Amino acid sequence: DADVTQTPRNRITKTGKRIMLECSQTKGHDRMYWYRQDPGLGLRLIYYSFDVKDINKGEISDGYSVSRQAQAKFSLSLESAIPNQTALYFCATSDLLGRGQGGDTQYFGPGTRLTVL
């Protein structure tokens, strides 16, 4: 089974709808991240969390909110989806103490393709 899972894998929705993307991990990592990927722009950080009580905004957090329900679960919500939120969304995890290879290596889920019409 995959260490980092995301649901749904694909979603098409309409402008104004509320959408939740979910991420679960079995790696036992403390840190979790949400990124979005747009063509030609690489990945950009939306939110990150060090633990269930520590949530921080990334560079493009406007229009998004998150919830860290447990160490293993980190959800991303779009309260009122708009077309320019159409993108590929990734969840990632990393080990707080950098015990993994490369110290700060981030491990990514398979991604969620979101289309807002």
Partner 1 sequence: AQKITQTQPGMFVQEKEAVTLDCTYDTSDQSYGLFWYKQPSSGEMIFLIYQGSYDEQNATEGRYSLNFQKARKSANLVISASQLGDSAMYFCATPSRITGNQFYFGTGTSLTVIP
Judged by the rule CB under 8 A, the positions of this chain that interact with partner 1 are 31, 33, 35, 40-45, 48, 50, 56, 58-59, 88, 90, 92, 94, 101-111, 113
Q: Give min distance, CB of 5 to partner 1, in A.
A: 12
Q: For residue 85, which phi and psi values (nearest 5 degrees)?
A: -95, 5
Rg of the chain in Å (alpha carbons): 14
Measure the CA dihedral 18/2/100/54, to 10°.
20
Residue pair 42/21 in contact (Cβ under 8 Å)? The answer is: no
Q: 20 or 45: whose CB is closer to partner 1? A: 45
Q: Between 63 and 100, whose beta carbon lies closer to partner 1?
A: 100
Give whichever of 85 and 109 is closer to partner 1, judged by the CB atom. 109
Least distance in angstroms from the C-beta of 75 to partner 1: 18
Q: Which amino acid is at 55?
A: I
C-beta of 42: minimal distance to partner 1 in Å?
4
- 61 strand-pairing partners: none
